[in-house]
Amino acid sequence: MAIKLVAVDMDDTLLDGTLQVSTRTCEAIGKAQEQGVVVTIATGRMFTSALPFAKQLNMQAPLIIYNGGMVRCPISKEMVLHKTIEADVAGKVVELFRQRGWYLQSYINDELYVAERSEKVIYYEKFANIKAVVAGAEFYSMKHEPTKFLALAEPHEIQQIQKIVNAEFSGEVFAATSKATFLELTHPSVNKGHALAVLAEKLNIKREEVMAIGDSNNDYPMIEYAGFGVAMGNASDRVKGIAQAVTAHNNAHGVAEAIEKYVLRQA
């Protein structure tokens, strides 16, 4: 069955090691769109951070952002889906991180909030090309109803934080790694697979006509949902294990290769 919708993760998938989209990938996406295929981004990033890339690639369809916590049109800014973590649960998450001395950032109404300016904040601002709001001590007392929380730590610390969060908030949050140093916390019903299903239904596209491309554990649900799941060459073994195909590394035009091979109609 022909592919009509392609959902592409951003970091370590669409973007290369310099956080850019290669010329070959831009051209492949453009050709797919010319053939009537819908191509969208499916990322853990916030709307503001994903939007410049959507514009660069002339994407018209709603974007899947915040790991599926939000689906939003890049042009009209219309909200197709928005699911936040409940305020009482969010408050308990913030308190746990405060007690443990773990770093946490909160995304509310597409604004990034942090407790204080630190090396982690500076790194993330540069990485995502956004500016954080420094709330100071109020960060721990303010009312959070975030679309997402993000924890940043060393890989072994992230694994430990994930175990504790899953034990403390089972059924109350969904925690998934997007990078070895990133742990993303969302509402328990939120994931890229569910959001992709919502978008496909809105566009009247069958599951069998959907292709998803990704590399990390937060991409697992959408690759599992898609009729044709593609793992990047640099993907985790877990993601490769459920994909129908494995493409090249993100520094070797893996997204372009997948679109050229499985989506574009040959003249």
Query: Which residues carry out catalysis?
Result: 9
The encoded tokens of residue 206 equal 């069958």
What is the spatial distance between Cα 196 and Cα 216, in angstroms, rounded to a whole number?
Answer: 16
Is the CB of residue 70 less than 8 Å from the CB of residue 82? yes
What spatial distance separates the first Cα and last Cα of the chain, rounded to whole Å? 18
The encoded tokens of residue 207 equal 């599951």
What is the spatial distance between Cα 97 and Cα 155, in angstroms, rounded to a whole number?
Answer: 17
Residue 205, classed as helix, strand or coil, is coil
Is the CB of residue 25 less than 8 Å from the CB of residue 253? yes
Question: What pairs with residue 71 in β-bridges?
Answer: 64, 81
The DSSP secondary structure of 2-38, one letter per residue, reads ---EEEE-IIIIIS-TTS---HHHHHHHHHHHHTT-E
What is the spatial distance between Cα 265 and Cα 267, in angstroms, rounded to a whole number?
Answer: 6
Q: Which phi and psi angles does 132 have, rounded to 5°?
A: -85, 150
Is the CB of residue 173 less than 8 Å from the CB of residue 106? no
Q: With 0-12 CB in 10 A as exposed, 13-18 as middle and 19+ as buried, what is 83?
A: middle
